[in-house]
Amino acid sequence: MELCYAIQNRIIDLCDEQDISLNKLATKSGLPFSTIFSIFYGKSKSPRLSTILHICEGFNIDLSEFFNDPIFDDVEYEDE
């Protein structure tokens, strides 16, 4: 699986686990909704680590918890 899709799926899983919408995630993360939208719908293929950190803050988790998921075990990185 490509990295961008792994990140999308991880965000979906965490939204489901915490029962929050993308809009609420954007608010809790302090990010514009357009940033979350771009990651979620694949327009942003390589989100910055700082953006993922903000998303983690919205979920109230740290980066290691975000990436500590089997979805990242066989991830591939595709250059744009």
Instruction: Encode pLDDT of 15-73 as tens digits.
Output: 999 999 999 999 999 999 999 999 888 788 788 999 999 999 999 999 999 999 999 99
Domain of residue 35, CATH code = 1.10.260.40
Q: Is residue 26 a part of any domain in this protein?
A: yes
Number of domains, the chain: 1
State yes or no: pLDDT of 80 exceeds 70: no
Question: What's the pLDDT tens digit per position in 13-29?
Answer: 999 999 999 999 999 99
**Helix residue spans in 1-80 (DSSP H):** 3-18, 22-29, 33-40, 49-59, 63-67
State yes or no: pLDDT of 9 exceeds 60: yes
Question: Looking at residue 51, what is its pLDDT?
Answer: 95
Q: How far apart are CA 68 and CA 72, in angstroms?
A: 8
Domain containing 8: what range? 3-72
Q: Is residue 77 a part of any domain in this protein?
A: no
pTM for this one?
A: 0.87
